[in-house]
């Protein structure tokens, strides 16, 4: 039996603590026309082995959150408030050198159109070996062996170590990128629209593989997509984001069966179903707001079919609307846990 | 080969189908001597599009669906086969010069609304040009009137005419592209993945607009997509394509409720479905691929409005 590594020991003590804890995160972009608040007071936790989904339209701030967790934001973006704790350490306090060591070892990311993020003039093998030699100072030969194992993990034959990215199909490249992300066994994997550029059949293969790897290795996932069906299939819990704020957080199945926020409702209604009668869908009218001048009150009110006068002035808070189910909408009555009802 | 499937005939203009594609093939030659190789992008494809019908052509990247659109738009010359529109064999009788007349019947809407509108021009320009080129020497006043009507049809305000493409959202730009196609009053619009680059919330709006144009103006559409759910949503008929072959076709709802060909089944099972209760292991892709389109090319009629390519005995 191997002795426990430092990380293993840490994990045991933290069984119940979240892997990632984002609290009141604020991200601003400085623009000529004034400051834009891209992420406004977002808080959420991701537990060990949990798959957490983040859904919303383009420009709502979901990729900004991913980049903030990786500490990849560059000017004009700036994290102006809140904290991002990964395994109990606030990533916002880390210096460059500590960050360099944390990235990839503790948190890795599969980027949007990741299949194009491989270096075209390096073989797949060299790119994986790089991870081990850089982060683990592993001798080349051992690194090669590990690289072969990693490729096997994602169902790619180790012969492919000598292949260049262009010699692989899109799906294989995407799997290779996932393998590279998992090379150092991070406790959190961030995936930003990992399959948008792929065909449905390939997408399904990749999603299935991610699920299997997640169960096998037990890492947590922050999964970002605009495809709610795909998200519900993969994630345990999910949040819906609108104009820089979380508007609903719930276990995925609950969210699907009983969406509380009108925006979630609309977003789910934007996908035609594959079964049942053909009914006319309405989608969501108009476009998301200009973030330089977000609407007052509830940011969704100009597009909301249920908006009342109060929505124009009062900003709704993210409060429980049902058990384990938070929503930020004035029309959702606050839910009180039965045991606490009497004390109120 | 038996004539392509026919859906319920619509008693609108003309009697026969608007578009008849017969045994269409397209080969691409790659490389140069002595390493030449040929890729068959479209293999012996036949189908009809009736007046006022929306036909969806679905398949994965590289299945040849866009090649078919490009041939129909006369941007490509087919290697073999016929394209008959309104009873006229296009490639046999029409000269390249006749393309103006052709374009007034057949218009395209492309995938990328960011690339298909010249950033240096105002929206007004995109809609005025086709009216001037194809119209009947309308007076500036008449053109103005038509512009206003076009914008209203696609659900855009008149004030947008003075804007530049970069001032519009993706959905608005795609609406402009559709208005431009409509300007010449075409009989059919070829829409190649018109929604795939748009945000989820605006996709439905574009699909609804396409259906409205069909319902109100009787414009036929060839809707090319890899999104089966959207094909089911707007198309009367869906055709499934794989590696150059049409493997199955039929009334959209019927076809997706009872897919017959292994490839159609594979495609449908891959669509994410939040309401699926258990994890589905992806079917073996190889088997479905082996079975696809490598038979005799014979079609089996499953019902009056649904057929599939015969699957080789050994594979089934």
Closest residue in B to A198 (Cα–Cα): B61
CB pairs under 8 A between A and B: 100
**Average pLDDT of chain B?**
84
Higher local confidence (pLDDT), B97 or A122: A122
Q: How close are the terminal C-alpha atoms of chain A, in Å?
A: 53
Are B281 and A199 within 8 A, CB to CB?
Answer: no
A226 and B CB contact within 8 Å: yes
Are A281 and B208 within 8 A, CB to CB?
Answer: yes
The pLDDT value given to residue B3: 43
Confidence band of B61 (pLDDT split at 50, 70, 90)? confident
A271 and B CB contact within 8 Å: yes
- pLDDT tens for chain A, 344 residues long, are 444 444 444 444 344 689 999 999 999 998 887 788 999 999 999 999 999 999 998 889 999 999 999 999 888 899 999 999 999 999 999 999 999 888 989 999 998 777 678 999 999 999 999 999 988 889 999 999 999 999 998 989 999 999 999 998 888 898 999 999 999 999 999 999 888 778 888 888 888 889 999 999 999 999 998 888 889 889 999 999 999 999 999 999 999 999 999 999 998 888 888 888 888 888 887 778 888 889 999 999 999 999 999 999 999 999 999 999 999 999 998 888 777 766 54
Name every residue whose Cβ is closer than 8 Å to that of residue B314 and which is 6 or more positions away in sequence.
Answer: none
Closest residue in B to A206 (Cα–Cα): B282
B246-293 tens-digit pLDDT: 999 999 999 999 999 988 998 998 888 766 644 555 555 555 555 554
The answer to whether residue B2 scores a pLDDT higher than 70 is no
Are A201 and B274 within 8 A, CB to CB?
Answer: no
Partners of A266 on chain B (C-beta within 8 Å) are: 201
Are B273 and A283 within 8 A, CB to CB?
Answer: no
Closest residue in A to B282 (Cα–Cα): A205
Partners of B157 on chain A (C-beta within 8 Å) are: none
Task: Give the nearest partner residue to B270 out of A200, A267, A272, using CB atoms.
Answer: A200
Are A287 and B202 within 8 A, CB to CB?
Answer: yes
Confidence band of B100 (pLDDT split at 50, 70, 90)? confident
B228 and A CB contact within 8 Å: yes
C-beta of residue B174 within 8 angstroms of C-beta of residue B196: no
**Which tokens hold the place of A242?**
């609108």
Higher local confidence (pLDDT), A75 or B12: A75
The pLDDT value given to residue B246: 93
Best probe of the B interface among A112, A200, A227, by most B CBs < 10 A, is A200
Partners of B202 on chain A (C-beta within 8 Å) are: 283-284, 287
Are B201 and A267 within 8 A, CB to CB?
Answer: yes
The pLDDT value given to residue A6: 44
Are B274 and A228 within 8 A, CB to CB?
Answer: yes
- For chain A positions 56-115, those within 8 Å of chain B (CB to CB) are 57-58
**B115 CA: distance to closest CA in chain A (Å):** 18
Are A281 and B229 within 8 A, CB to CB?
Answer: no
A250 and B CB contact within 8 Å: no
Give the mean pLDDT of B166-184.
91
Q: What span, in angstroms and rounded, lies between the C-alpha atoms of A306 and B179?
A: 32
Sign, Cα dihedral of A91, A94, A100, A105: negative
Are B232 and A199 within 8 A, CB to CB?
Answer: no
Name every residue whose Cβ is closer than 8 Å to that of residue A28 and which is 6 or more positions away in sequence.
Answer: A35, A36, A37, A38, A77, A78, A80
The answer to whether residue B4 scores a pLDDT higher than 70 is no
Best probe of the A interface among B65, B204, B276, by most A CBs < 10 A, is B204
Closest residue in B to A199 (Cα–Cα): B60
The pLDDT value given to residue B5: 44
The answer to whether residue B17 scores a pLDDT higher than 60 is yes
Are B272 and A207 within 8 A, CB to CB?
Answer: yes
Q: Give the 3-state DSSP-derived string for chain A, with helices as H, strands as E and coil as C.
A: CCCCCHHHHHHHHCCCCCCEEEEEEEEEEEECCEEEEEEEEEEEEECCCCEEEEECCCCCCHHHHHHHHCCCCCCCEEEEEEEEEECCEEHHHCCHHHHHHHECCCEEEECCCHHHCCCCCCCHHHHHHHHHHHHHCCCHHHHHHHHHHHHHHCCCCHHHHHCCHHHCCHHHHHHHHHHHHHCCCCCEEEEECCCCCCCHHHHHHHHHHHHHHHHHHCCEEEEEECCHHHHHHHCCEEEEEECCEEEEEEEHHHHHHCCCCHHHHHHHCCCCCCCCCCCCCCCCCCCCCCCCCCCCCCCCHHHCCCCCHHHHCCCCCCEEEECCEEECCCCCCCCCCHHHHCCC
A270 and B CB contact within 8 Å: yes
The pLDDT value given to residue B275: 67
The pLDDT value given to residue B133: 84
C-beta of residue B170 within 8 angstroms of C-beta of residue B202: yes
The answer to whether residue B309 scores a pLDDT higher than 60 is yes
């Amino acid at each position: 039996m191997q002795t426990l590594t430092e990380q293993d020991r840490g994990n045991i003590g933290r069984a119940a603590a979240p892997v990632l804890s984002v609290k009141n995160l604020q991200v601003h972009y400085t623009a000529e026309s004034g400051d834009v608040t891209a992420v406004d007071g977002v808080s959420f936790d991701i537990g060990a082995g949990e798959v957490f989904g983040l859904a919303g339209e383009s420009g709502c701030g979901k990729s900004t959150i991913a980049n903030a967790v990786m500490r990849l934001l560059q000017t004009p973006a700036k994290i102006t408030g809140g904290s991002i704790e990964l395994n109990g350490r606030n990533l916002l306090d880390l210096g460059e050198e500590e960050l360099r060591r944390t990235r990839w070892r503790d948190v890795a990311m599969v980027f949007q159109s990741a299949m194009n993020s491989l270096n075209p003039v390096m073989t797949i093998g060299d790119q994986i070996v790089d991870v081990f030699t850089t982060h683990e100072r592993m001798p080349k030969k051992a690194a090669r062996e590990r690289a072969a194992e990693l490729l096997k993990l994602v169902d790619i034959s180790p012969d492919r170590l000598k292949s260049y990215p262009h010699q692989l199909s899109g799906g294989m490249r995407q799997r290779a990128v996932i393998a590279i992300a998992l090379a150092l066994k991070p406790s959190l994997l961030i995936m930003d629209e990992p399959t948008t550029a792929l065909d449905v059949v390939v997408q399904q293969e990749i999603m299935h593989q991610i699920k299997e790897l997640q169960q096998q290795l037990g890492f947590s996932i922050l999964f970002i997509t605009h495809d709610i069906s795909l998200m519900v299939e993969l994630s345990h819990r999910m949040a819906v984001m609108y104009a820089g704020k979380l508007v609903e957080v719930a276990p995925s199945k609950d969210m699907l069966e009983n969406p509380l926020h009108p925006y979630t409702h609309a977003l789910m209604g934007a996908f035609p179903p594959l079964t049942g009668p053909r009914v006319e869908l309405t989608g969501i009218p108009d476009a998301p707001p200009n973030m330089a001048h977000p609407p007052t009150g509830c940011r969704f009110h100009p597009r909301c079919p249920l908006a009342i006068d109060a929505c124009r002035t009062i900003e709704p808070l993210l409060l429980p609307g049902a058990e384990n189910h938070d929503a930020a909408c004035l029309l959702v009555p606050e839910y009180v846990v039965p045991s606490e009802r009497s004390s109120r | 080969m038996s004539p392509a499937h026919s859906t319920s005939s619509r008693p609108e203009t003309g009697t026969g189908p608007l578009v008849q594609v017969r045994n269409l093939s397209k080969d691409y030659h790659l490389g140069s001597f002595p390493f030449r190789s040929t890729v068959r992008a479209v293999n012996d494809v036949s189908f009809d599009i009736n007046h006022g019908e929306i036909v969806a052509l679905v398949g994965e990247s590289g299945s040849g669906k866009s090649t078919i659109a490009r041939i129909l738009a006369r941007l490509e010359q087919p290697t073999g086969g016929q394209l008959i529109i309104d009873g006229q064999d296009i490639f046999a009788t029409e000269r390249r010069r006749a393309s103006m007349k052709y374009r007034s019947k057949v218009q395209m809407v492309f995938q990328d609304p960011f690339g298909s509108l010249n950033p240096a021009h105002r929206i007004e320009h995109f809609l005025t040009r086709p009216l001037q080129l194809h119209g009947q020497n309308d007076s500036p006043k008449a053109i103005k009137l038509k512009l206003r009507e076009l914008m209203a049809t696609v659900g855009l305000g008149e004030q947008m005419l003075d804007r530049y493409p970069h001032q519009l959202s993706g959905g608005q730009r795609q609406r402009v592209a559709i208005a431009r196609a409509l300007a010449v009053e075409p009989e059919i619009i070829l829409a190649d993945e018109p929604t795939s680059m748009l945000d989820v919330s605006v996709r439905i709006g574009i699909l609804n607009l396409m259906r409205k144009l069909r319902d109100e103006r009787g414009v036929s559409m060839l809707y090319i997509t890899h999104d089966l759910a959207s094909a089911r949503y707007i198309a009367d008929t869906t055709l499934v394509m794989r590696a150059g072959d049409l493997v199955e076709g039929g009334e959209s709802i019927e076809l997706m409720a009872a897919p017959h060909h292994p490839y159609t089944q594979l495609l449908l099972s891959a669509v994410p479905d939040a309401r699926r209760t258990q994890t589905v292991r992806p079917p073996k892709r190889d088997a479905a691929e082996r079975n696809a389109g490598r038979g005799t090319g014979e079609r089996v009629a499953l019902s009056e409005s649904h057929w599939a390519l015969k699957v080789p005995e050994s594979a089934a």
